[in-house]
Structure 1
Amino acid sequence: MYPNYRDYDDIEMLWELARDKRIKSRVVAVRSPEATHEIMEFLVADESPAVRRAIAKWEGPDSANLLRTLYRDPDLKVRQSVVENRNCPADVLRELVNDSHKSVRWSVPHHPNSDINVKQEIAASPDGVLRRIMAEYDTLEPEIAHLLMEDQSSEVKEGLAAHTALPDVLATLVAHPDPKIRAGAAQNPRTTPEQRHTLARDPSALVRANLLKFVELPEEDLRLLAHDRSINVRWWLAVWPDTPNSILEILEQDSSKEIAETAKFTLERRK
């Protein structure tokens, strides 16, 4: 019969389970609410990955030291449990930035204990996806955001542009020479009216289309975009639920039959 940890709350019985040859018994000992740090230390080098995984999930007193033992474990699920443990210390998270498996690395930025040293390690990581994940946090420290502004990857800078809450960083990325990065900035709801006015006149259709999809524009800019040279921009304007009726009426006369019909259909749905 499979043992249940709820049946074992006596410390002597837990020690018996911890010394049991059966893996299931040792897992029960670890999962018990009454399990002590001494039991965890006794089992932390257990030959069974199932036992070590259970220890990696333990959030009891001084669990951080156990995690320092387990973060190099050969078992992927053990390391995943380490990085998911809310008590995982910053020094371990910094090591896990360079873990061999992406599922572990990509979990590091989400951890509440990821301090500035961890973020600096991420900024120096060769993993561009990991750097982008971090770039998409709007609570980044200025020094980390400025590091990412110099990142070699346009995808990282695009993510930063779309999410940064730092006005100076956003202003720089709004004016970036790479249209992909300006398109990221066009998604950021923190752009100023002046920046949106500029982006509505951007030479890249990708930037202008993104602006329509993510932020609210004054009628002056919407009228300009209703006559945009890009059929893609006008199409987005015709289908977007927040487009004012006055702009849809302009698009009803569009040279593209598809856009004109789409604008007409959008207007009729509102009646």
Structure 2
Amino acid sequence: MNDPLFPVRSAVIENTACDEDVQLAICRSPYKDSRYQLAQGENLSAKTIACLSVDPSPEVRETLAIQTTDPGTLALLVADASPRVRAGAAFNSLTTADQRRALARDSKSVVRGALVQTVTLDEEDLQLLVRDRAVEVRWWMACSLVTPPHIREILRSDPDPTVRLQAEGPAKHKWQVDPTDDLH
């Protein structure tokens, strides 16, 4: 796994014979791109997941946080020191209600913004985030397909015009083409 050519390292990772020994060798390699690619993969051994969860690169840990199905690993990454990693964990649909509650109260807006984009939240968390101090969190909430109608209604009265515009929904934007229009 010390080949200087990325295509060679990538082929090893994609190979079906990439077993635990090979995965651990990749974890020890100096090539962040290879560890990142490995973190995106499936069928990782428990040792490999443990190794990637403490990788020195936040990008590798972020990718693992998004992908992991292991509850212990996800719990570790929800509490990671890097906001980037916690944001990755916020995208993971397997987070528990308690983990989502903690992420909704994270000090970094990038984490709260990630959380509102893809997972269904409890009403208490929705009410907190719909009034978030960071415009980008409310904007992402207005963009999200999982935002409930009653929250979208609150966002339509947001003090920020970009949030209000997003909360109106795509049908209100004149620059978008109606897919039901016959253009021929």
TM-score, normalisation: structure 2: 0.87
CA distance in 1, matches of 2:120, 2:169: 22
Unaligned runs of 5+ in 1: 1-96
CA distance in 2, matches of 1:243, 1:142: 35
Q: Does 1:234 align with 2:138?
A: yes
Distance 1:136 1:248, change over 3 A: same
* 2:38 alignment partner, one of 118, 130, 134: 134
Q: Does 1:204 align with 2:108?
A: yes
CA distance in 2, matches of 1:145, 1:239: 33
Q: Kindly indicate whether the alpha-carbon contact (under 8 Å) linking 1:173 and 1:185 is maintained by their aligned counterparts in 2.
A: yes
CA distance in 2, matches of 1:222, 1:268: 24
Distance 1:101 1:168, change over 3 A: same
Q: Kindly indicate whether the alpha-carbon contact (under 8 Å) linking 1:182 and 1:207 is maintained by their aligned counterparts in 2.
A: yes
* 2:84 alignment partner, one of 180, 189, 198: 180
Question: What's the counterpart of residue 191 of structure 1?
Answer: 95
Question: What's the counterpart of residue 123 of structure 1?
Answer: 27
Q: Kindly indicate whether the alpha-carbon contact (under 8 Å) linking 1:180 and 1:206 is maintained by their aligned counterparts in 2.
A: yes
The amino acid that maps onto 2:52 is L
Q: Could you report, residue by residue, the CA deviation over 1:158-203 in whole angstroms, capped at 9, with x for unpaired residues?
A: 1111111111111011011211111111111211121111111111
CA distance in 2, matches of 1:165, 1:262: 32
SS at match of 1:107: helix
CA distance in 2, matches of 1:258, 1:167: 37
Unaligned runs of 5+ in 2: 174-184
Q: Could you report, residue by residue, the CA deviation over 1:47-81 in whole angstroms, capped at 9, with x for unpaired residues?
A: xxxxxxxxxxxxxxxxxxxxxxxxxxxxxxxxxxx
User: Aligned-residue CA RMSD in angstroms?
Assistant: 1.7
Question: What's the counterpart of residue 161 of structure 1?
Answer: 65
CA distance in 2, matches of 1:267, 1:241: 14
Question: What's the counterpart of residue 151 of structure 2?
Answer: 247
CA distance in 1, matches of 2:171, 2:152: 7
TM-score, normalisation: structure 1: 0.60
Question: What's the counterpart of residue 148 of structure 1?
Answer: 52
The amino acid that maps onto 1:264 is E
Q: Could you report, residue by residue, the CA deviation over 1:69-95 in whole angstroms, capped at 9, with x for unpaired residues?
A: xxxxxxxxxxxxxxxxxxxxxxxxxxx
Q: Does 1:216 align with 2:120?
A: yes
Q: Does 1:99 align with 2:9?
A: no
Larger radius of gyration: 1
